[in-house]
Amino acid sequence: MTFFEEQLEQGIFQICYCRKCNYTIWPPKEICHKCYSKSDWKKSTNIGKILEFSKKASMYFGLIEIDNGIRILGDISSTSTPKIGQSVRMNVSFNSKPNYSFIVENN
């Protein structure tokens, strides 16, 4: 397992960024995509906003942007129809693959 995956398993989303040019590297990699320097990690705020959403069976899912412009697909928990731009909190886990879920704030 990678460091990113181990952290997801513990419920922590680590943002990969370049120590030299501060570029956010997503999906995470050991080397910066722009300047090829070594990357480092910082914890996410786990707060994001809904860019787009749809629904499969009874579960909403969508494209969410969290800090530093990281975009992620995941399930959205909401008792009412989500709205574009609505604020969400991210929960993460890892079970053979990453799992991201989002809870609409003030739901």
Partner 1 sequence: MNKVAIVGTGQTKFSKDDSDIEKLLFESSSKCIQSMNDCDSKDIDGVLVSTNNNSKYLGAILSETMGIQPKISHSIEHLCSSGTNAIISAYAYISSGLSDVILVSGVESATNPGQILEWDKSRGALEHPIYWGSMLTKSHKRKFQTTEEELAIVSAKNHKQAMDNPFAYSNEARTISEVMNSKQITDDLRILDCSRSCSGSSSILLASEERAKILSEQPIWITGIGQKTTSASFTKNILEEIESTRIAANLAYKMAKIEAKNIDVAEVHDAFSVCELMAISELGITSNEKSGEFVRNLFNTENRMINPRGGLIGAGHPLGATGISQTIEITNQLQNKSNKRQISNTKTGLIHNMSAAGTSSSIMVLQN
Distance CA 39, CA 81 (A): 38
- Residue among 41, 87, 98, 92 nearest 64 (CA): 87
Residue of 7, 25, 28, 39 that binds partner 1 (CB under 8 A): 28
Q: Write out the E strands in 9-97.
A: 14-18, 39-43, 47-56, 59-66, 70-77, 87-94
| Contact set for partner 1, span 71-100 (CB under 8 A) | 71-75, 84, 97-100
| Contact set for partner 1, span 48-67 (CB under 8 A) | 51-56, 61-63
**23 part of the interface to partner 1, by CB under 8 A:** no
Binding site for partner 1 (CB under 8 A): 4, 26-28, 51-56, 61-63, 70-75, 84, 97-100
